[in-house]
Chains A and B, each alone.
Chain A
Amino acid sequence: MAKNIQMKNVDIYYGKFHAVQDVNLSIPPRAVTAFIGPSGCGKSTVLRTMNRMHEVIPGARVEGRVELDGDDIYRPEVDPVEVRRAVGMVFQRPNPFPTMSIRDNVVAGLKLQGVRNKSQLEEVAERSLRAANLWNEVKDRLGRPGGSLSGGQQQRLCIARAIAVQPEVLLMDEPCSALDPISTLAIEELIGELKKHYTIVIVTHNMQQAARVSDQTGFFNLKAAGQPGRLIELDNTEKIFSNPTEKATEDYISGRFG
């Protein structure tokens, strides 16, 4: 488990629109990398190229290389379905499957992979829910619908669902932006534990959150609306927030714009 990600000369397009320009970065395993930057700067788009989720949108395409432990996930013979099993994702809004029970939500990915063994599914459900710090809250009602949980619990359920298939990497697209402060704290603590086992990349609008949870931070920006977003700099979180190399980063983190 836990692989590194390299992006080399990555350009991302939606149809004719050049969304992100020339991203080069390296994401180490078993660490948290945070992406910050103003709205529309392409940080979520970059995140979504890491498990080929962006190509769900018609017309979206990528140039350059995105490597998972040196293996280019955009080679023509690579199946995006396999990529997404290796690179899990948690979204901005908690999105458990509304008609499935809590248990079925957690093991949905495993079931898709053909696991039918009941005791194995039970075991994975418990392990994943424990890892997502949700087990004690839901162990007595695993048969209830996933939608019956609170927003913060739903988000942890989604994390449990993502880690149930034991991915190499966990992508989080603003996982706390729809949550209250207490739920946010619970998720942040969870991220701290998960990074022992997984490579984590998190997009956040909240700079304090990036400073709290991440080991390295990437700052994305765009020159003007309609221009492609770019990675301005990626460095140790401490350095980004105390002594960034680029003027634009300093302006952003000190709240002078964005």
Chain B
Amino acid sequence: MDEPESAKVSMARSSEAVPSPASQPPKTNGTQSKDMPQAKDLDSRPRRRADAVFRMLAQGSGVALLVIMAAIAAFLILQAIPALNADTTNFFTTLNWAPDGTPSSFGIAALAFGSLLTSLLALVMSVPVAVGVALAISHYSPRWLAGPLAYVVDLLAAVPSVVFGLWGLIYLVPGLIGPSNFLSTYFGFIPLFETNGTYGKSIFAASVVLAVMIIPIIAAISREVFVQTPRDHIEAAWAIGATKWEMVRTAILPYGRSGVVSATVLGFGRAIGETIAVALVLSANYEITLHILQPGGNTIAANIANRYGEAGNIGRGALIASGLVLFIITLIVNFGARTIVRRGEREGA
């Protein structure tokens, strides 16, 4: 009794719906009938399948990323252990790198110090400039100039690091001799600028190269954040009688702070992981010194680039152990920055 009626209805509907889109009659048919066909039609299979496929893709990518990270860590640890066992001196305090010698002796102290020092100096030099560049593009330059400027900064961010390294080696290192001499002559009482009277491929040169290298990336990301500052905040600042700089300080910088921190971390990551550009402008040694103007200094990444070719079995393990330290430093810095950002957000909430 039920069936013919619903069939009749659906027939009537479909004959009625001749001019309307073809998709309509089956749809009405589905909602009219009451038994199995109804359940079947409500369950729109194709869409569900797309959902499932996408979920698998997304979850798969997420899991794959974690697995890859864990695999890298495991690889580094496994490769490093034999070398660390062969090391006859303390890995954390030794200022030497002779893993293939007899007895084997190498330590991370000088390298880790050099990595951190060059990267920190690079950040000190680049972050203010990069934030300035970002603000100049986002809020100070006229619109016809802002577009091309932003584009140029994005382009610079993509320049391969070896180009910066070559520029540093050929142009910057000789060019820094004069300024270094000036600094050490007149500001030599500050330990940082004290020298033994010679200049050249120094920590300072490496920091400048790194700074120049990471300015574009920090500027590009900061600009992205600054231009997203809500109109509300900007107008609030204008309305209480803020000058342009005061508006930037009260509305744009607080809003962009977390973004600038993220950009800085990214820049730090690039700086501390940079191999070739640093290897080209450092005269590798294994000292810990704050005298950044005199020749010397080394970083983990540059050391790997310089020593990998000549390394024996233990030597390679030792370099991998240093890579593990770099990995851990980067993790710690990332974590620290995230904490800063999160605290900032909580204050803002």
Contacts and interface: CB of A to CB of B under 8 A. Distances in A.
B236 A147 contact: no
Contact of B240 (A88, A98, A145): A88
B348 A88 contact: no
A84 B250 CA distance: 16
B241 A109 contact: yes
Contacts of A89: 235, 239
B143 interface: yes
Contacts of B348: 98-99, 145, 147
A99 B347 contact: yes
A93 interface: yes
B347 A145 contact: yes
Contacts of A82: 241
A84 B241 contact: yes
Chain A CB count within 10 A is highest, among B230, B239, B251, B348, for B239
B242 A97 contact: no
B232 interface: yes
A56 B240 contact: no
Interface in B228-268: 230, 232-243, 246, 250-251, 254-255, 257
Given A56-B234, A145-B348, A145-B349, A84 B239 contact: yes
Name the interface size band of chain A.
Answer: 20 to 34
B340 to A, nearest CB: 14
Contacts of A97: 233, 236-237, 250-251, 254
A112 B240 contact: yes
B233 A113 contact: no
Contacts of B235: 53, 56, 89, 91, 95
A165 interface: yes
A53 B239 contact: yes
Contacts of B257: 99
Interface in B120-151: 143
A95 B344 CA distance: 18
A76 interface: no
Contacts of B243: 81, 112
Nearest to B244: A81
**Interface of B, helix, strand, loop or mixed by DSSP:** helix
B225 to A, nearest CB: 14
Interface residues of B, number: 24
A161 interface: yes
A91 B241 contact: no
B262 to A, nearest CB: 17
Given A145-B347, A145-B348, A91 B240 contact: no
A112 B246 contact: yes
Nearest to A110: B240
Most B-side CB within 10 Å, residue of A58, A81, A99, A158: A99
A105 to B, nearest CB: 9
Given A56-B234, A56-B235, A97-B250, A161 B349 contact: no
Contacts of B240: 84-85, 88, 108-109, 112, 161-162, 165
Which of A56, A97, A100 counts the most chain B CB atoms within 10 A?
A: A97
A58 B140 CA distance: 12
A148 interface: yes
Interface in B267-312: none
B226 to A, nearest CB: 15
Interface string A62-99: 00000000000000000001101100111101011111
Given A84-B241, A112-B242, A145-B347, A96 B236 contact: yes
A51 interface: yes
Interface string A98-137: 1110000000110011000000000000000000000000
Given A56-B235, A82-B241, 16 more contacts: A81-B241, A84-B240, A85-B240, A95-B232, A95-B233, A95-B235, A95-B236, A97-B237, A98-B233, A98-B348, A100-B254, A108-B240, A112-B240, A112-B241, A112-B243, A145-B349
Identify the 7 closest CB pairs spanning chains A and B, nearest first: A109-B240, A85-B241, A95-B232, A89-B239, A99-B254, A95-B236, A84-B241
Interface of B: 143, 230, 232-243, 246, 250-251, 254-255, 257, 344, 347-349
25 contacts: A53-B238, A56-B238, A81-B241, A81-B242, A81-B243, A84-B241, A85-B240, A88-B239, A88-B240, A90-B239, A91-B235, A95-B235, A95-B236, A97-B233, A97-B236, A97-B237, A97-B251, A98-B255, A98-B349, A100-B254, A108-B250, A112-B240, A145-B349, A158-B236, A161-B240
